[in-house]
């Protein structure tokens, strides 16, 4: 397994790119440590698949370098890079048995049959497919086929990185959950460097130690799941992660304070000075609560999502979501909203514009 | 408009795909069919849409037997998981196609197409071809076609399954409003419990070709009538364990026991199954008569706002889901607490016989 470094990567699908809009990847600098679990998260068209193809060697970047353990592999072919990939749809040989499918990548490397046997059994046991080793792959259910695909990706110990490209797309939700847990468990056991590409926040956050959030060819934030949830540094991250995403309220900045609808909003810390732009107060629904005092609002909609309620309240023409575990108000009710100060921030042109109190000291 | 199914069945090659089903689906709210792939949702929709013939039973629309009527004569719309549009036609012509087939006047077609396009924010794209649209826009085109047609019934078969996570969230939020007040019976198939809860209305839970429970969505979530319904309507999966009741005491694995309260206290001695959703098995103490479930942590997931842990108590695997960040170590022995007030009790034949006093969340 290897440490992976992406240095000043830029990529354009055009022969003579001009402005930044011609680039699918704009300026990517990353360091991924050996044995980590990483996710690339973003909507369709954000550049995550381009980045994956560059790492795997299927695509030559317009600019920049890729290093495995500090060794430049930019010009290396996919085979030379020694990586394993698991795709959206299961890639297995239907006519072969499960055993032969799992053994295939090892036999390709002329591994001794005794070793092959022990490794196949080890992986099959981890994936809980050891009871189907002698079955032909053709008869398996879609989720078992994808499990075997994952097994083929994980069976070799000598790969530099295992990459997963939306591997759970074809899996039913209730099985998704099981496979996701399985993958996480496998990572904890094999400690391979793994990169997981997805548009699904739940998959990214549950799988990865560190998530790279991408938008329009740029990285907007890199952080642990907790960091991305607790303190998004960009409104896109606030919006994209969390269901519903972060509330954004138009605000005015006066005398070092933020005002929404002429009410002063208490913030996590001091505003970063300088710069003009569109200011918004950002607060996640999880940190909005109801009280006797606070911003006056009217409840537009209440959804019982089972383990909590999602309440949509309206102030003027601004919609604010709140998540509460119990005592949800009724539709049409007049309520008072409170924002947890430590989770209330100002974003200027999308980027965070408040500092943590500690940072100001 | 109403759709009524009477003893409807479907056989394929001698196998029963839909077991005798009786349902009344009404306009004015979403009718959700929730179940895993293969549960029979699409089969049932195809029967209602007239795309398949039932083996026995009848289908009534507004009291009229339509069992033998063709799809065209039933005046229905169908939106699939895969974006079905005519590639060679513009978005306008795609939305207009069923109206043209119906021989509607040109001016009326224009009016209806524009109205539908406005609702689905496609106005600026009417001249484009589907190939030039994003996945979300293509699916909105299919939805606009269903809206413009003003059908008696609209069948939405996992229409958001192939869309990006965030897009799904936005469209799902708009869907109930799109069809509100149109008088059509709207049937929505999904495999995601949370989606059913968010759409509200009424839900039919499906498993193995049967509708196991049907009623107002939130009500059946809180009152599953049998163990299968509880399992279909829970993600992550509901915790299930075998227990023995003696006196007014329940015991599990011979080591864990608790005092029964509410209607569970009057259950006669014998073997039962208990079920409790993961969000009521918590890693900390809350007020109440809690049952200590200490176990070894096997898998942990952290999604930013929620933490889950899978742990083993005796031979039973349990799942806990708590809001906030709880750093678990894999392999450690951790205490979890379940509140019996949130438990469901089932007799050996799977029927719910009692539930804890607060098993409403």
Torsion of CA B35, B39, B40, B41, to 10 degrees: 20
Cβ neighbours around A292 below 10 Å, total? 6
Cβ of B299 under 8 Å from any chain A Cβ? yes
Q: Of B170, B205, B232, which residue constitutes the final position of a domain?
A: B232
Domain assignment present for A290: yes
Same domain, B276 and B224: no
B55 domain residue, yes or no: yes
What separation in angstroms does the CA of A85 have from each of A12, A46, A54, A212, B46?
23, 20, 13, 19, 38
Same domain, A128 and A260: no
Residue B361 has pLDDT above 50, yes or no: no
Least confident of A100-104, A183-187, A253-257, A273-277: A273-277
Is A238 inside a domain boundary? Answer: no
Q: What pLDDT digit, counting tens, does each position of A7-55 carry?
A: 999 999 998 888 888 899 999 999 999 999 999 999 888 999 899 999 9
Using the 3D structure, point to which of B232, B249, B278 is the last residue of a domain: B232
Report chain A residues whose CB lies below 8 A from the CB of B191. Answer: 172-174
Residue A235 lies in a domain: no
Same domain, A16 and A160: yes
Q: Are residues A114 and A190 in the same domain?
A: yes
- As a whole number of angstroms, the distance between CA A235 and CA A245 comes to 9
Give me the interface pTM, i.e. the ipTM.
0.83
When mean pLDDT is compared across A114-118, A178-182, A238-242, B51-55, the lowest value belongs to: A178-182
Question: How many Å lie between the alpha carbon of B354 and the closest alpha carbon of chain A?
Answer: 19
On whether both A13 and A109 belong to a single domain, the answer is: yes
Q: What is the DSSP string of B193-221?
A: HHHHHHH-SEEEEEETTEEEEEEEHHHHH
Q: Say if residue B178's pLDDT is above 60.
A: yes
Tell me the mean pLDDT in the region A304-327: 93
Cα distance between residue B135 and residue A169, in whole Å: 15
Q: Of the candidates A311, A191, A320, which has an alpha carbon nearest to the alpha carbon of residue A263?
A: A320
A73 plus A202 within the same structural domain: yes
> Which pLDDT belongs to residue B131?
86
Q: In a mutagenesis test of the A interface, which of B133, B208, B218, B304 is the best target, namely the one with the most A β-carbons within 10 Å? A: B304
Residue B116 and residue B227 share a domain: yes
Q: Which two tokens stand for residue A124?
A: 């099959």
Q: Which of A225, A286, A304 sits opposite B302 (nearest CB)?
A: A225
For the segment A200-210, the average pLDDT, to the nearest whole number, is 90
Q: Is some CB atom of chain A closer than 8 A to the CB atom of B342?
A: no
Residues B51 and B184 in one domain: yes
Q: How far apart are CA A83 and CA A78, in angstroms?
A: 7
- Band (B359; pLDDT cuts 50, 70, 90): low
Q: Are residues B201 and B253 in the same domain?
A: no
Question: At which of A230, A252, A276 does a domain end?
Answer: A230
- How many structural domains is chain B composed of? 2
H or E element, residue A258: strand A257-260
Average per-residue pLDDT in chain B?
A: 92
| Residues B125 and B246 grouped into a single domain | no
Q: What is the pLDDT of residue B163?
A: 81
A308 neighbourhood in chain B, CB within 8 Å: 323
Task: State the count of interchain CB pairs (< 8 A) between A and B.
Answer: 95
Cα angle, residue B267 at apex, residues B264 and B271 outer, rounded to 5° = 105
**Is B361 a domain residue?**
no
Q: Which of A230, A262, A295 is the last residue of a domain?
A: A230
Buried b (16+ CB within 10 A) or exposed e, B324-353: ebbebeeeeebebbbbbbbbbbbbeeeebb
Same domain, B173 and B249: no
Same domain, yes or no, for B12 and B150?
Answer: yes
Q: Tell whether the model's pLDDT for residue A234 goes beyond 90.
A: yes
Q: A172 with A100, same domain?
A: yes
* B294 domain-assigned: yes
Tell me, what CATH number does A13's domain have?
3.40.50.300
* Separation of alpha carbons B168 and B162, rounded Å: 9
Averaged over B274-291, what is the pLDDT?
93
Beta bridge partners of A10: A63
What is the full DSSP assignment across A264-320? Answer: EE--SSPBPP---S-EEEEE-GGGEEEESSSEEEEEEEEEE-SSSEEEEEEETTEEE
> Is A360's pLDDT higher than 80?
no
Domain with B278, as residue range(s), is 239-355
Question: Does A361 score more than 60 pLDDT?
Answer: no
The distance of B306 to chain A (nearest Cα, Å) reads 9
How large is the average pLDDT for residues B73-99?
91
Residues B71 and B204 both lie in one domain:
yes
Q: Is B80 on the interface with A (CB under 8 A)?
A: no
* Chain B neighbors of A246, CB-CB under 8 A: none
Of the candidates A45, A180, A241, the beta carbon closest to that of B304 is on: A241
Distance of CA B33 to the CA centre of its chain: 5
Cβ–Cβ contact A128 with B under 8 A:
no
A236 belongs to a structural domain: no
User: What pTM was computed for the model?
Assistant: 0.88
If one compares A315 and B358, the residue with the highest pLDDT of the two is A315
| Partner-chain contact A173 B237, CB within 8 Å | no
Question: Is B197–A206 a contact, with Cβ atoms under 8 angstroms apart?
Answer: no
Whether residues A172 and A63 fall in one domain: yes
Residue range B51-77: mean pLDDT, rounded: 95
Mean pLDDT for all residues in chain A: 92
Nearest Cα to Cα of residue B164 among A46, A322, A3: A46
Least confident of A18-22, A303-307, B300-304: B300-304
- B198 and B171, same structural domain? yes
**Within chain A, where are the H helices?**
48-56, 78-81, 98-107, 113-126, 142-154, 173-190, 201-207, 225-230, 235-240, 357-360
A251 in any annotated domain: yes
Task: Please check whether residues B197 and B212 belong to one and the same domain.
Answer: yes
Q: Residue B322: give its domain's CATH number.
A: 2.40.50.140
Percentage with pLDDT > 90 across chain B? 71
The DSSP code for B340 is G
The answer to whether residues B226 and B251 belong to one domain is: no
| CB-neighbour burial class of residue A21 (10 A; exposed 0-12, middle 13-18, buried 19+) | exposed
Q: Is the domain of B256 the same as that of B109?
A: no
Find, in chain A, the residue whose alpha carbon is nearest to that of B231: A174
Let me know whether A221 and A302 are in one domain. no
Residue A12 lies in a domain: yes
Residue bearing tokens 């990567």:
A9
Helix (H) or strand (E) holding B2: strand B2-12
Identify the pLDDT of residue A213.
97
Residue tagged 């049409």 (tokens): A332
Q: Does the CB of A88 have a partner CB in chain B at under 8 Å?
A: no
Residue A1, pLDDT score = 67
In chain A, the number of structural domains is 2
Q: What is the pLDDT of residues B185-221, one digit of tens each?
A: 999 999 999 999 999 899 999 999 999 999 999 999 9
Residues A44 and A146 grouped into a single domain = yes
Of A193, A263, A258, nearest in space to A39 by CA:
A193
- Separation CA B80–CA B160 (nearest Å): 9
Print the domain residue range for A267.
243-360
Do A167 and A115 lie in one domain? The reply is yes
Q: Are strands A257-260 and A252-254 parallel, antiparallel or unpaired?
A: antiparallel
A219 is written with which tokens?
């990285």
pLDDT of residue A178: 76
CATH number at residue A276: 2.40.50.140
Of A230, A260, A277, the residue that ends a domain is A230
What's the distance, CA A205 to chain centroid? 6
- Three-state secondary-structure class, residue B300: strand
Same domain, A333 and A225: no
pLDDT tens digits for range B306-350: 899 999 998 889 999 998 888 888 899 999 999 999 999 999 999
Separation CA B208–CA B192 (nearest Å) = 16
Domain ends where: B172, B200, B232?
A: B232
Helix (H) or strand (E) holding B72: helix B71-74
Domain identity same for A277 and A214: no
Chain B residue with the nearest C-alpha to that of A182: B299
């Amino acid at each position: 397994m290897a440490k992976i470094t992406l240095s000043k990567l830029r990529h354009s699908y055009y022969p003579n790119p001009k402005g930044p809009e011609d680039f699918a990847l704009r300026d990517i600098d990353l360091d991924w440590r050996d044995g980590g679990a990483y996710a690339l998260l973003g909507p369709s068209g954000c550049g995550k698949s381009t980045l994956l193809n560059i790492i795997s060697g299927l695509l030559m970047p317009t600019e920049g370098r890729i290093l495995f353990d500090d060794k430049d592999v930019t010009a290396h072919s996919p085979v030379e890079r020694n990586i394993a990939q698991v795709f959206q749809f299961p890639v297995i040989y239907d006519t072969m048995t499960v055993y032969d499918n799992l053994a295939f990548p090892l036999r390709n490397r002329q591994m001794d049959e005794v070793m092959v046997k022990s490794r196949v059994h080890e992986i099959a046991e981890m994936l809980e497919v050891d009871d189907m080793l002698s079955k032909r792959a053709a008869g398996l259910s879609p989720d078992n086929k994808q499990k075997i695909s994952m097994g083929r990706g994980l069976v070799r110990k000598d790969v530099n990185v295992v990459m997963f490209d939306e591997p759970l797309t074809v899996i039913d939700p209730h099985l998704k959950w099981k496979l996701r847990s399985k993958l996480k468990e496998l990572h904890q056991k094999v400690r391979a460097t793994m990169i997981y590409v997805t548009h699904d926040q739940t998959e990214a956050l549950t799988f990865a130690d560190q998530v790279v959030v991408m938008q329009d060819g740029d990285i907007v934030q890199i952080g642990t799941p907790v960091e991305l949830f607790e303190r998004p540094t960009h409104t896109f991250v606030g919006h994209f992660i969390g269901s519903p995403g972060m509330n954004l309220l138009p605000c005015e900045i006066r005398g070092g304070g933020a005002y929404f609808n002429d009410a002063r909003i208490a913030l996590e810390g001091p505003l970063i000075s300088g710069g003009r732009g569109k200011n918004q107060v950002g607060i996640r629904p999880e940190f909005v609560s109801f009280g006797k005092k606070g911003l006056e609002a009217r409840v537009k909609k209440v959804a019982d999502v089972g383990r909590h309620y999602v309440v949509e309240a309206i102030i003027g023409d601004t919609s604010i979501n709140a998540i509460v575990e119990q005592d949800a108000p009724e539709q049409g009710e007049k309520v008072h909203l409170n924002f947890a100060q430590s989770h209330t921030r100002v974003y200027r042109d999308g980027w965070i514009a408040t500092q943590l109190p500690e940072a100001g000291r | 408009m109403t759709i009524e199914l009477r003893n409807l069945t479907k056989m394929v090659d001698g196998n029963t795909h839909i077991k005798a089903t009786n349902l009344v689906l009404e306009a004015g709210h979403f009718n959700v069919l929730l179940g895993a792939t293969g549960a029979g949702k699409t089969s049932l929709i195809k029967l209602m849409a007239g795309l398949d013939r039932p083996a026995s039973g009848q289908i009534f629309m507004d009291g009229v037997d339509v069992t033998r009527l063709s799809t065209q004569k039933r005046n229905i719309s169908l939106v699939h998981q895969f974006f079905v549009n005519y590639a060679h036609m513009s978005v306008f012509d795609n939305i207009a196609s069923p109206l043209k087939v119906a021989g509607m006047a040109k001016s009326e077609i224009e009016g209806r197409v524009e109205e539908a396009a406005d609702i689905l924010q496609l106005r600026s794209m009417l001249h484009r071809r589907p190939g030039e649209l994003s996945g979300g826009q293509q699916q909105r085109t299919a939805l606009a076609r269903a809206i413009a047609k003003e059908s008696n019934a609209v069948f939405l078969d996992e229409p958001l399954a192939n869309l990006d996570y965030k897009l799904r969230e936005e469209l799902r939020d708009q869907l109930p409003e799109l069809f509100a007040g149109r008088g059509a019976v709207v049937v929505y198939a999904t495999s995601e419990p949370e989606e059913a809860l968010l759409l509200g209305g009424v839900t039919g839970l499906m498993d193995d070709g049967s509708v196991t429970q049907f009623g107002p969505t939130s009500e059946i979530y809180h009152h599953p009538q049998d163990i299968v319904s509880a399992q279909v309507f829970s993600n992550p999966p509901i915790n299930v364990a075998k227990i023995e009741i003696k006196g007014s005491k329940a015991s599990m694995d011979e080591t864990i026991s608790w005092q029964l309260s509410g209607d569970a206290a009057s259950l006669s001695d014998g073997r039962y199954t208990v079920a409790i959703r993961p969000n009521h098995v918590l890693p900390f103490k809350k007020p109440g008569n809690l049952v200590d479930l200490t176990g070894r942590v096997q898998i942990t997931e952290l999604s930013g706002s929620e933490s889950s842990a899978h742990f083993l108590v005796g031979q039973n695997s349990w799942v806990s889901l708590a809001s906030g960040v709880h750093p678990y170590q894999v392999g450690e022995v951790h205490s979890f607490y379940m509140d019996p007030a949130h438990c469901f009790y089932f007799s050996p034949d799977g029927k719910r016989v009692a539930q804890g006093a607060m098993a409403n969340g």
